[in-house]
Every structure is written in structure tokens, then in C-alpha cells.
Structure 1
């Protein structure tokens, strides 16, 4: 085992030899073997142990064991205690998921603050098979069947090629001691059921199960690379605009694909969507139709799909059919005087006197001060709003202006208005109103800027 592990590090993970490593250690067989192997190779390792306070005296015994092991090997060790049940309740997570989040968040904080290069975990081949079967039983795409990655950003799993049987053989032949977690004997968790009842039968049926499984993972990863390449080609044609607030995609590349559902799944699976048949229907739906996940929404807008973060209040008010009233959503902000700079719900609004109208920028307008009647109001637009676009004769409904400007549904939801009495002074960052423009008779010019 030591020879095979050494060869694996030399051939596949040589960067670990020059790195500072933080080993996640529970006190169980896997992490104890990993610690001893790394110690034998004289790698630069430090231990990190989580006490989740879930098993009373047994949890404290694990902690004492890890402290003793670190002392025997002359290694530095970090211990952290967690109120796992309380965290799980607050975050509405299962105990297992809560422990996982707490563990990896703490490891990442340690690695960042103390400049460890990698976090090293003791996942092995049997863990990989269990994860594969769990994902398979729950329904997953190709990415869920490619196994646990050996390297995932700053996390490395050097024991993945080795079976639990090989680890146990090494531990016994070198007289290592480890702790047994009593919860591993329970069939409460799916992973334990697979470990105790399913995988032993599979191994009995096929003595080369893990090796064949490794071969299968290799084929699946190769296929996954082909899928990624194809998806990148479609994404390159489909993505029109992307920033921290939204992603806008052209529908046509998906409609032209032989299997639109497959491409939609690969494109949006990481955003929590599950209604894939509905997503395919979205390609032919009318504008305004949307699909929701827990944190995101995907909206059909003419020939586009627009992905944004989900705003629960807006979702409740959103209809499937086009221009809706925003009155229930709007925030209003009253501006009493021409202060130099004002922080508003929409952004920063500033007022300054100007000697002349200079330049043309979307976030700046110049108005005749005498035409402003205070207090001014800043609010979101509502259905039925009308203004007089600068440079045009007559008035125009904002909804018609938005249509002419080809604003998306998402863009319209973020439109704010500056109002004097009942009149629109400015559709912020888009168009000023003709009635407030500077003329030859203007005595005082006000420059209004919005960011």
C-alpha cells in the first residue's frame, strides 16, 4: 500500500510534495491511514478535526484520539467544536448536510488564513462507488455519474484509487489504531444501506467490481468531455449578455439543437431547476412565461431567455401575460431639497448647478430649475405612466416606449422615475422629459446625475 501510494503521488499528484497540506481527520480508519501514509512520505501536513457534538462522549473520544495521534506523530492539529443540530435547524438542512457545510467552510477558512495550499481528504474507491449509486438512485445527469473528483480546486483526494479493503489491510499490518463511528453501523442513512447490503452483494457477484467501476468512470468522464465541448459551442451562440445580475440567451440555438432538453439541462442544472419538460415548452411560450427554482427564475422574453436571481416578492406579483402593474412593488423616496448627493433605494442621485448643458450621457440630464416643484419623488414605474420624451412632440406611454426600445421584462422591472408633482422629469438613465428641458429662457440649470 505504501509503495502504491508513493507511486501515485509521484506520478499523478507530485505537486503535493512541495505544498502545505491540511488533512481532514475524523479519527476513523480512512483518515488515520491517510495521515500515516503522508507522514511516511514526509509531506508537510497539519491535521484538522471537527467535533460536531452529535454523539456525546463518543465525539469527545474521537477528539482525544486525534490529539494523541498528532502528539505521537509530532504534528500540529486544529480542533473546532460545532453546534451542528442548531445549525441544521437554522439553515433547514439535514444533519449530514449541515455537518458537511460546517466542515468544509471551516477547512476553507483555515486554509485561507494560514496559507495552506491544499485540503486533503480521505475519500477512497468505495466512497466513490457509494456516491455513484446514491446519485444514480436519486436521478442525475452525466456529471453525477462521473464520480468524486480527485482534484477539485483546493481539495485533493489522494486515496481515491484505493479500496477500503486495501486501507484496512495496511492498517492491520502496520498495527495502526483508529476509531469506529457507531453511526456507521446504522442503516438510517442511504449510504450505510448501500455499504452494508448492496455493495457486498455486487462485490460477491464480481470480484473485479471496483476496477471495472474505475474503467466505467473513465469512459463516462470521456463522454462528459464531449458533452462539455458541444455545450460550449451552443452556449457561445446562445449567450448574448451576461453579468452579475442576469444572463440573456438567444432561444434559436436551443430550438435548432437535435435535443433541446439535453442542452437546457446542461446549461441550467446548476441553478436548481427541475421542471425540464416545462423548460422545453418555454422555448415556444409567450413572453412573460417563467420557471422558478429556489433561488433563480428563467423568463421568456420575445426571442430570449433571461436568467436572474429570484425576488420572492416580485415572483408573487409576476403574471404570465405581459405588462403588469408595479404598484404593489414600488418603493418611493421623497426628495425635499436640491441636496448635492442623496442615497436612494435605487442608487445615488446628485444635483448640481451647471453653467451650460455639456455632453450627452445616459446617466446625466440637465433641467430648468424653475420647472422643478418640490418635493420630488423617486419611484418605480407603474402601468399607465405617461411622459413627453425629450426631443419629441406629444406624449407617450412608458409601456409603448419600453416596447419601442426593446426593453426586456427584467429591464422594465428595474426602471425608476424622477417625478415633479405628477409629471415625469426623467426615466432614469434612459430618457429625460421635454417639459423640463433647458431653453433660452432658463436662468438656472440643474445637472442631475444618477449612479
Structure 2
């Protein structure tokens, strides 16, 4: 196996040569075989061991075993301990998820602080099969069916091409010592149930099942690559991005025979999971939306708008005093005296200073707010109607701030000044207000 492993590294992981490698080592057979292989090939390696404190004395015995091995073989070693149970309870996640979060966060931090180029884990072909079956049982897309990636950023998995049997044969031949994790014998976890019962049955039905599975995954990966290429090409035709939002043109989207599949590919990475609600949103009335933990997908006329979700406090207010010339929160604004009115724009207005009552107030708009839009000869208009006429989306309306004097709106900031505060021939003091 050593020669086969060396050839595998030469063909697929040439970039590891000469790099500093951090080997995730539990003390079990898989990680100890990986450690042995890299020792024999003279790579620059160090050991990273996590003690999750989930098996009492056995967890500390594993820790001591790895530490002693590192000392005997003069390999740098880094060891940490986690209160995994407390973490799982605090963050309301399973023990397995907690352990994964803890170890990978620590691996990345360790690689950064100790200047290691890559983190290597000992996942093998049987692990890949088990992951495939777990994802299949829960329902998944192509991502779940293509299994564990050989590389994910700094994390590299050089044993994915090798079976558990090959690792066990190598360990026996080279007298590799390891620690047996007693929890592997339990059927408490889904992975162990699949490992102990389903996988042996599949291998009994077809002795070459693992090889056939690997071939199938290669085909699935090819299909995934094709899907990703098509997704990118169609995205460029249907979507446009500006600042913090992405807009999807529904007229173009609905011409696609498989538009739901494209939506899934585009939105999955943003944490959405209510797919039927998203597909229904396409044909819903304007103003409807679907939430992900940190994002929102909004139906706005003939578009879908994807944007970060944030909480809007409608009661939030900021005061501006008469001597204040610069405002930095929540917007960047400047106030200055002017001799005359020059060019007015959405970002610059001129008002009659004597009509202002201080302190001025910056606030969000509310249902029922009215103002007299500049140029409408004193006619009042509800803000909700004004926004509708301006064809503002819900996202755009949420970003609106008002500059007010007492209960009167001076400026719908960035959109329209109020007629009541405009400059006249009789105006003596002019204030120029600019939005940066």
C-alpha cells in the first residue's frame, strides 16, 4: 500500500510536497495508519489531537497514547480538550455536530497560529460510502451524493481512495498500534448502524460494491460539474447584483423548463430550506417573502430580490441639534449655511432655516405618515402611496429615513423634499443639507 499511496500523492496531491502538514490524529486505526504512511515518506508533519471528553478515562488514555507516540517518534504534537457535552447543550446541537464544529475551528486556528499549510484527516472510502448513505436516507441533492471532497480549502483527505480493509491490512503488516474507540461498537448513532448492518449487506450482495460505488461517484461528480457550469451561465442571464442585493428577473427565469432546480442551486448556499415556499413565491403577489437565518427572498413585481435580513426598529430615533454640522449615524449627512440655492438632487436639498424647529429628528417611516412632496403645490400625500408611485420594493422602503421638524417631514431622505420647507423669495437664511 505504501507504494500505491506514494503514487496517489504524486498524481493527486503534488501540492503537499515541501509543505507543513497538520495531521488530525485521534489514535484510532485510520489516523495512525495515515501518520505511519507520512512518516515513511518523509513529509513535514505534526500531530493535532482533540480530547472531546466523551468517554471518561478512555478519552484521556487516547490523549496519552497519541502524546507518547509523538514523543517517541519526535513529532511535534498539539493537544486540546473540549467540554463537548456542554457545547452541544449551549448551542442546541447534537454531540456529533458539536465535536465537528469544535475540532475544525481548532484545526483552522492552529494551522493559522503555527503556520501549517494544510490540515489532513484520515477519511477513507468506507467513510465516503457511509456519508453517501446517510445523506441519501435524509434526502439530498447532488452535493450530498458526491460524498466527502478530497480537498476543502486547507483540509485535505488523502485516504479517500483507500478502503478500510486496505488500511487494516497495512496496520497488520507494519505492526501499527492504535486505540480502539469503544463507541464505534454501539448502534446509538446512525453512522454506526449503517456501518454495522447496511454496508456489510451491500458488500455481501456485490463483493465489488465499494469499487462500483466509487465509479458511480465519479459519474455523479461529472454531472455535478456540468450542473454548476450551466448554473453559472444561466445566472449571468437571469440575475443582476448591486451592493448587498441580488435581483432575479422572473420573466427570464420562468422561460426555463427547470427553473426550480436553478433556484435551488443559487439559493442553497444562503441557508434557505423552505423550498416549496420559495417555488410558490415565484407566482405569489408582490411583497411576499421567504426567510433564511440571515437572508430574505422577496417577491417584488417581476423580480425576486435576495438580500441580507436585518431587524428594523421602527421606534429608532436620532436627534440633531442646531449647532450640529455633521451627522454620522445612522446616515452620513452635512448641514451648512448657503448664500443661495443651487442644484437640488436626491442627495442635496435647500431649506428655509427659519422654518426648522430644533432638535431635528431622524426616524423611520410609519404607516399613516404624510408629507407635501416638493413641486405638488402643497398637496399632501401618504408616504405609502408615494412609495408605491415610486415603485419602491419592500427592501428599499425598509431603508428609508425621514428628517423631521417637530411632527412635519422635512425630507424623505434620498427621495423628495417637503414643499413646506422650500426656499422662497422671502427666505433670509438657507440651510444646505447633503447626504454623503
What is the TM-score when the length of structure 1 is the normalising length? 0.91
Q: Which residue of 2 aligns with 1:126?
A: 126
For 2:345 and 2:117, the matched residues in 1 are separated by: 47
For 1:242 and 1:170, the matched residues in 2 are separated by: 55
Provide, for residues 172-213 of structure 1, a one-character-per-residue CA deviation record: whole Å limited to 9, x for no partner: 111111111111111111001011111011111111111111
Q: Which residue of 2 aligns with 1:324?
A: none
Pairwise CA distance, 1:51 = 1.1
Q: Mind listing any 5+ residue stretches in structure 2 that lack a counterpart?
A: none
For 1:359 and 1:184, the matched residues in 2 are separated by: 75
Matched, 1:421 2:420: no
For 1:365 and 1:351, the matched residues in 2 are separated by: 10
Matched, 1:397 2:396: no
For 1:65 and 1:300, the matched residues in 2 are separated by: 58
Provide, for residues 1-56 of structure 1, a one-character-per-residue CA deviation record: whole Å limited to 9, x for no partner: 11011001111110101211111111111111111111111111111111111111
Check the 8 A contact 2:378/2:420 in 1, yes or no: no
Q: Which residue of 1 aligns with 2:94?
A: 94
Q: Which residue of 2 aligns with 1:219?
A: 219
Secondary structure in 2 matching 1:101: helix
Count of matched residue positions in the alignment of Structure 1 and Structure 2: 435
Superposed, 1:345-424 pairs within 5 Å as 346-357=330-341, 362-395=346-379, 396-424=381-409
Provide, for residues 282-314 of structure 1, a one-character-per-residue CA deviation record: whole Å limited to 9, x for no partner: 111111222233333222111111223344x66
Pairwise CA distance, 1:359 = 5.6
Superposed, 1:108-119 pairs within 5 Å as 108-119=108-119
Q: Mind listing any 5+ residue stretches in structure 1 that lack a counterpart?
A: 315-327
| Change in 2 beyond 3 A, CA 1:87/1:41 | same
Pairwise CA distance, 1:240 = 2.2
Q: Which residue of 2 aligns with 1:319?
A: none
The alignment yields a C-alpha RMSD, in angstroms, of 2.0
Pairwise CA distance, 1:360 = 5.4
Provide, for residues 118-143 of structure 1, a one-character-per-residue CA deviation record: whole Å limited to 9, x for no partner: 11111110010000000000000111
Superposed, 1:223-234 pairs within 5 Å as 223-234=223-234
Q: Which residue of 2 aligns with 1:160?
A: 160
Matched, 1:292 2:294: no
| Change in 2 beyond 3 A, CA 1:83/1:359 | farther
Q: Which residue of 2 aligns with 1:317?
A: none
Provide, for residues 218-271 of structure 1, a one-character-per-residue CA deviation record: whole Å limited to 9, x for no partner: 10011111111221122112212244x432211123211112222222222223
Q: Which residue of 2 aligns with 1:325?
A: none
What is the TM-score when the length of structure 2 is the normalising length? 0.94
Secondary structure in 1 matching 2:16: helix
For 1:18 and 1:367, the matched residues in 2 are separated by: 68
Matched, 1:46 2:30: no
Q: Which residue of 1 aligns with 2:276?
A: 277
For 1:282 and 1:104, the matched residues in 2 are separated by: 37
For 2:435 and 2:5, the matched residues in 1 are separated by: 61
